[in-house]
Amino acid sequence: MPARSKDAPGTPWSRPERPRREQPALSRAQIVAEALAILDSDGIEALSMRKLGARLNAGATSMYTHVANKDELLALAVDEVFGKIWIPAVTDADPADWRTSLAECAASVRQVVLRHPWMVSVLGDLGLVYFGPNWMRLSEALLTFLEAAGFTPTEANDAMGALLGYVIGTASVEAAWLSALARQGRDEQGWMDELVPAVIEATRDFPRLHRLYSTEVGSATDGGRDSGFTNGVRLILAGIEATRQARHAS
């Protein structure tokens, strides 16, 4: 294989770390771990290379030896979080039970995003985050489950995209909502108790919405979000299976 030019595009995971002479030596793992601590405690606005260097007692030169820029640092941090996603062992993949495996992965992705809400402002901006090893591990597992169930590679890729698009989109909206409440010092349940009656009143001229909010959408928060997400995943998976059956029948 020919050597890759130093100017060729790549990812931070494909670039080897350069040895340094600091005592104690600074590593990329240390940098990412400290960045995650800042992101989780103070949010994305609080993270800067200068602040990170101060907390690590490292100069700018040392920092940029391991991480090219802040965008690269965020990509590394996001993939580190993706490493917390629970994935069933692909060796246990049951062709007849592929939906359960995908639903479990989907639930874990959602929980990871909700535990690290700063990710919401990163996922849509940094293409690099989808080339990290942990995201690749998740994608490989999902494709394995789907192909074991009889999906073609193209069908499996389309199905994975539809599922993850729903999961990340839904979790991002939830995380943004919860973060906004936290900034305002509002309790979610208390806010919903105030909001639902106002929405019911506002929808009086829209009969279907009014019926929905009057009879179906309660003021429960966590349970309502959980059941709504689970039902959405179930619908996505049912649609994926129906589409596959229709393609094979034609």
Q: Could you read off the pLDDT of 54-98 as tens digits, one per residue?
A: 899 887 777 888 888 888 899 999 999 999 999 988 766 677 789
* Token pair in block for residue 7: 């100017």
Q: Could you read off the pLDDT of 2-48 as tens digits, one per residue?
A: 444 444 456 777 777 665 555 457 888 999 999 999 999 999 999 99
pTM (predicted TM-score): 0.83
Mean pLDDT of 132-150: 92
pLDDT for the residue 3: 43
pLDDT for the residue 229: 94
Which helix (H) or strand (E) element contains residue 227?
A: helix 222-249
Environment class of 49 (CB within 10 Å of its CB; exposed 0-12, middle 13-18, buried 19+): middle
Return the closest-CA partner of residue 175 out of 232, 228, 110: 110
The residue to which tokens 């995943």 are assigned: 233
- Top mean pLDDT of 51-55, 108-112, 120-124, 130-134 is at 108-112
Query: Is the pLDDT score of 231 beyond 50?
Result: yes
For all residues of the chain together, what is the average pLDDT? 85
Mean pLDDT of 171-188: 88
pLDDT for the residue 182: 84
pLDDT for the residue 131: 85
The domain spans of the chain are 85-249
Residue 115 φ/ψ region, left for φ over 0, alpha for ψ in the -120 to 50 degree band, beta for the rest: alpha
Query: Is the pLDDT score of 224 beyond 80?
Result: no
pLDDT for the residue 104: 94
pLDDT for the residue 221: 55
Q: What is the CA radius of gyration of the chain?
A: 22
The CATH number, out of the four listed (3.30.590.10, 1.10.357.10, 3.40.50.2030, 1.10.10.10), of the domain defined by the range 85-249: 1.10.357.10
pLDDT for the residue 144: 92
Q: Are 132 and 13 in contact (CB under 8 A)?
A: yes
pLDDT interval class at 151 (50, 70, 90)? very high
How far apart are the C-alpha atoms of 108 and 19, rounded to whole Å? 36
